[in-house]
Structure 1
Amino acid sequence: MGVRHAVVTGGGIGGLTAAVALSRRGWRVTVCERAPVLTGVGAGIVLAPNALRALDSIGLGPEVWAGDTLPGPVGLRTPDGTWLSRSDSAAVSTRHGPATRAVHRGFLIDALAAALPPGVVRLGVSVTGVDDTGGVVVVRTSAGDLRADAVVAADGMRSVLRGQLFPRHPGLRHAGEAGWRAVLPRSGPPPRHAAETWGRGERFGVVPLVDGRIYVYATAVTGPGGRPADHHAELTRRFGAWHDPIPALLDRLNQHAPDPVGILHHDFHELAPPLPRFHAGRVALLGDAAHAMTPNLGQGGCQAIEDAVVVAHLLAHHTDVPAALAAYTKARHRRTTRIGRRSRRVGELARLSHPLAASIRNLAVRATPRAATSRALDTVIGWQPPPAPAPAHTPGEVHATTDVKEQP
């Protein structure tokens, strides 16, 4: 059997991770990205231990993520600065493995793109559909048709291919919130803590990035489509009286990003109900295309990275592509559904705006033992990637060690 060809639709984090993983397992890969350049659209991303282990399994290990880990206590606070819960990042690293890193999305995109062979990424090429009725998959693109043995659809939460494969699914559901994101340049000592502060129906997060910049984000309860005329004024109105260093960060945001373009604003959506499966024939859905979730656990990008290494592992060890992708659904569907559901529940708690309800919530969070919180994280960030590539074997034979079991 000759070298097999995979087309990956979408040059975001999940798509590029899949491309790296497949190319390092012997596949020829073409990435179709509709944008004219690869960009880390967004701001920061927290790479939790599960994502770092997945990246390490495809050769993107600790040397890529040089820089500071999350500093000191990490946890939840109230607007007056009181800690509701906190954990030491070093203790989390001891329990779960690689120390969490927070990086700019652009940095991650660049690292993934640099790990690909030349010519893999085709920019300015959009995918409009697939035809999986013949001996190979025909991928319809704006630059002409491509023929592939498998397609990995990583084309985001508004996935074109998801709509083709599952036309009866209702699609995205608004999650009742909107968010702001921005990255501040390095200036003076970074914050001593990475924390999210919960008010009544509002949140503000501060995350130091490995390069010294600061990722800030905020959320508020809102209906779909709402957009303030002046983002900075709205943020100051909502959060300007909260604990340090939030007021100072808002001042810096005004200095460095007074134009609304410098502050990203978006509604939160999730894919609900879940898709019945993450594949159809020789096409697999990955990341937001498969299981768009709210950002409340910080696991959207991490789950896309997990998806990518799992689908590449299974495609590398199964000569029957539909069977490999059926195994991919089995390995990923329950886990991502559970994480998406947990993220939704966290969002429901964070959105509480009635004073009594918010007070009861805060008391409950404060009363939860740290050990219980740590155990609850085990099933999320304790995930392990598939084993390293097995020795070459006879076509059609699948070694028992290559199976990826459905994980909690």
Structure 2
Amino acid sequence: MVGGGIGGLTAAAALRLRGWDVIVCERAASLDPVGSGLSLGPNALRALDAIGVGQAARGLAAIDGVSGIRRYDGRWLVRADVTAPMLKKYDDLAVIALRSELVDLLLSRLPEDTVRTSTAVSAVEPETGTVTTSEGALEADLVVAADGVHSGIRKALFPDHPGALYSGSTTWRFIIPEPGHGFRTTESWGHGDVFGIMPLSGKRIYCYASAVASAGQTFEDERAELLRRFGWWHAPIPDLIDAAEPGEILHNDVYWIAEPLPAYHVGRVAFLGDAVHAMSPNLGQGACQAIEDAVVLASLADQPDGLARYTAARLPRTRMVVQNSHRVSRMVGLRSPWATRLRDTLMWGVGRLGSAAVIRQTAPIFEWSPPRLSIR
């Protein structure tokens, strides 16, 4: 396993359940907590159920059935309580969890010596499974490349692929103590800018923002930059930004894989997560699709032509999610007054159709169910 993120750790837990001996090579010195939240849709929760941690993941999370989209001035475009229709259709809700707590949950399914930190992978031989690391060579029957959006293994094994492209948007994320009560999941749209509010368990709030910007920009004071961009938006956005610790605001550019790879495997190497289908965060499916990948891979890896079947199962589905997420990214990134007015009017119309119409839009993603993982 190359990479100790959500996808890599889920794959490690799923493969161990299937009887594989697993080593996770993580180049970072430690799996430090990352100050961000993530959304787990019913599809991801079912995948986590397959490895025995779904209920625990639900227990970590703030269950959220009420959500909406607002304009930057506070006017509601879409406001829906989807609790009852989601439970009826999916027997589950989308939940919002702290990424570091999900990492800890996945680590609890692995022996302590599974993850080798400070272990960088410099080369992989796909035909033999030889992995060259900073700590020496390893021999593997299966190499799982979960090494992220700028995957070195992808670059080496698909040298002609254009790789990850800058999406045109940059993002900020931070977590603060909940300053009061009654917060719901909302996303506010401006002219190319977005600000999201997600309640977490433990009386915490996860906030994220995105803006159309040139790649590679950094700011000496990220909070001041957020206040410059969003400090005049509707309440409580300015107060939430003001409550953030400047040194704990994460700022990252968003990259995505616009051109799908021809396959999600080469020889003994299988790719998963951002390494093979990085997407914009607008559908909240980045981690969810990596979790799906992991469970499907574990179910097929020891079968005849298992990795080819893995590609066949995952490439069309993840491509659909990547494309849909990019469409939403382009829509929320509109900047001209005329285009944003038309967008907001269309969203207002969707909101008038009610929560059932909102739920129907999620069906292609949320209806997915994982394969059964037999314990070996």
What interval of TM-score do these two structures reach, taking the shorter chain for normalisation? over 0.9
The alignment status of 1:216 with 2:202, answered yes or no, reads no
Tell me the equivalent position of 1:34: 27
Tell me the equivalent position of 2:4: 11
Q: State the SS of the aligned residue for 2:279.
A: coil
Letter in 1 for 2:363: D
Separation in 2, partners of 1:68, 1:347: 26
Letter in 1 for 2:227: T
Tell me the equivalent position of 1:305: 291
Greater RCO, CA 8 A, separation 6+: 2
The structure 2 residue matched to 1:142, chosen from 127, 134, 138, is 134
Tell me the equivalent position of 1:130: 124
Tell me the equivalent position of 2:337: 355
The alignment status of 1:52 with 2:45, answered yes or no, reads yes
What TM-score comes out, normalization by structure 1 length? 0.87
Tell me the equivalent position of 2:168: 176
Tell me the equivalent position of 1:236: 227
Tell me the equivalent position of 1:101: 95
The structure 2 residue matched to 1:293, chosen from 263, 271, 279, is 279
Letter in 1 for 2:323: R
1:3-53 C-alpha deviation (Å, 9 max, x unpaired): xxxxx0000000000000000111110111111111243511111111111
> For structure 1, which runs of at least 5 residues remain unmatched after alignment?
1-7, 393-408
The structure 2 residue matched to 1:76, chosen from 69, 80, 98, is 69
Letter in 2 for 1:140: T
Contact kept in structure 1, 2:172 and 2:252, CA below 8 Å: yes
1:281 Cα deviation after fit: 1.1
1:263-289 C-alpha deviation (Å, 9 max, x unpaired): 111111101211111101110000000
1:224 Cα deviation after fit: 1.1
The structure 2 residue matched to 1:245, chosen from 214, 236, 252, is 236
Tell me the equivalent position of 1:325: 307
Letter in 1 for 2:260: P
Q: State the SS of the aligned residue for 1:273.
A: coil
The structure 2 residue matched to 1:200, chosen from 162, 183, 191, is 191
Contact kept in structure 2, 1:72 and 1:192, CA below 8 Å: no
1:71 Cα deviation after fit: 4.0
Separation in 2, partners of 1:162, 1:97: 37
Letter in 2 for 1:122: R
Q: State the SS of the aligned residue for 2:370.
A: coil
Contact kept in structure 2, 1:70 and 1:89, CA below 8 Å: no
Gap change, CA 1:226 and 1:148, over 3 Å in 2: same
What TM-score comes out, normalization by structure 2 length? 0.95
Q: Percent identity among equivalent residues?
A: 47
Gap change, CA 1:29 and 1:68, over 3 Å in 2: closer
1:241 Cα deviation after fit: 2.0
Letter in 2 for 1:103: A
Contact kept in structure 1, 2:67 and 2:184, CA below 8 Å: yes
Contact kept in structure 1, 2:60 and 2:97, CA below 8 Å: no
Tell me the equivalent position of 1:399: none
1:142-172 C-alpha deviation (Å, 9 max, x unpaired): 1111111111110001111111110110111
Contact kept in structure 2, 1:287 and 1:307, CA below 8 Å: yes
Could you list the structure 1 runs, at least 4 aligned residues long, displaced by more than 3 angstroms after superposition. 67-72
Separation in 1, partners of 2:235, 2:195: 12
Letter in 2 for 1:346: V
1:220 Cα deviation after fit: 0.7
1:375 Cα deviation after fit: 1.3
> For structure 2, which runs of at least 5 residues remain unmatched after alignment?
none
1:186-244 C-alpha deviation (Å, 9 max, x unpaired): 4443x431011001111000001123211001111111112233211121122112222
Contact kept in structure 1, 2:170 and 2:211, CA below 8 Å: yes
Contact kept in structure 1, 2:62 and 2:97, CA below 8 Å: no
Gap change, CA 1:307 and 1:42, over 3 Å in 2: farther
Separation in 1, partners of 2:32, 2:272: 19
Tell me the equivalent position of 1:119: 113
Letter in 1 for 2:108: A
Separation in 1, partners of 2:103, 2:79: 30
